[in-house]
Chains A and B, each alone.
Chain A
Amino acid sequence: MNGSDLNKQAANALIWVLLLTAPFWLVEIGGYVELGSRVLIYALAAMALNFLLGYTGVLSFGHAAYFGLGGYGTAMVIKFLYPSTPVAMLVGIVAGTLAAAAIGPLIARLRGVYFAMCTIAFGQVFYYIAFQWSSVTGGDDGLSAWQRQPINFGFATLDILNSNKAFYYFVLAVFAVCAGAMAFLLRSPFGRTLLAIRENERRARFLGIPVDRHIWMSWVISCLFVSVAGCLYALLSDFIDPRALRWDQSGNFVIMAVLGGMRSFWGPLIGAAIFLVLQDYISSHTENWMSFVGLFFVLIVLFFPRGVLGLIKRKHET
Chain B
Amino acid sequence: MSLLRVENVSKHFGSLVAVDGVSMTVQPGELRAVIGPNGAGKTTFFNLISGFLTQTSGKIIFEDKDISGLLPARRVWRGIARTFQITEVFPELTVRENLRIAIEVTAGYRTSPWLSQDADGEIRAHVTELMAMGGLEGKADRLVGELAHGDQRATEILMALALKPRLLLLDEPTAGMGDQETYDITQLIRKLHRDQKLSIVLIEHDMRVVFHLADRIMVLAEGKMLAEGTPPEIAANEAVQAAYLGKAAA
Contact = CB atoms under 8 A, between A and B. Distances in A.
B72 A188 contact: no
Contact of B72 (A193, A200, A205): A205
A193 B89 contact: no
Given A190-B112, A206-B50, A206-B82, 9 more contacts: A188-B112, A188-B114, A189-B110, A189-B112, A192-B104, A202-B84, A203-B156, A207-B101, A208-B105
A21 B176 CA distance: 57
A214 interface: yes
Contacts of A196: 90, 101, 105
A184 B112 CA distance: 11
A132 B77 CA distance: 49
**Contact-size category for B:** 20 to 34
In the complex, the 3 A-B pairs of residues with the closest C-beta atoms, listed nearest first: A208-B76, A199-B90, A189-B109
Contacts of A298: none
A207 B83 CA distance: 10
Given A188-B114, A208-B73, A195 B89 contact: no
Contacts of B130: none
B88 A208 contact: no
A217 interface: yes
A205 B76 CA distance: 9
Interface string B78-108: 0001101000111111000100111011100
B178 interface: no
Interface residues of A, number: 22
Contact of B101 (A184, A185, A192, A217): A192
Contacts, number: 82
B113 A193 contact: no
Interface string A172-204: 000000000000110011101101100110110
B73 A210 contact: yes
Interface in B139-171: 156, 159, 163
A193, A207, A208 — most chain B CB neighbours (10 Å) = A207
A286 B141 CA distance: 50
A210 B70 CA distance: 12
B115 A199 contact: no
B111 interface: yes
Given A188-B115, A189-B104, A207 B92 contact: no
B90, B104, B115 — most chain A CB neighbours (10 Å) = B90
A101 interface: no
Contact of B93 (A185, A190, A195, A209): A195
Contacts of A208: 73, 76-77, 105-106, 163
Contact of B89 (A184, A190, A200, A217): A200
Nearest to B123: A189
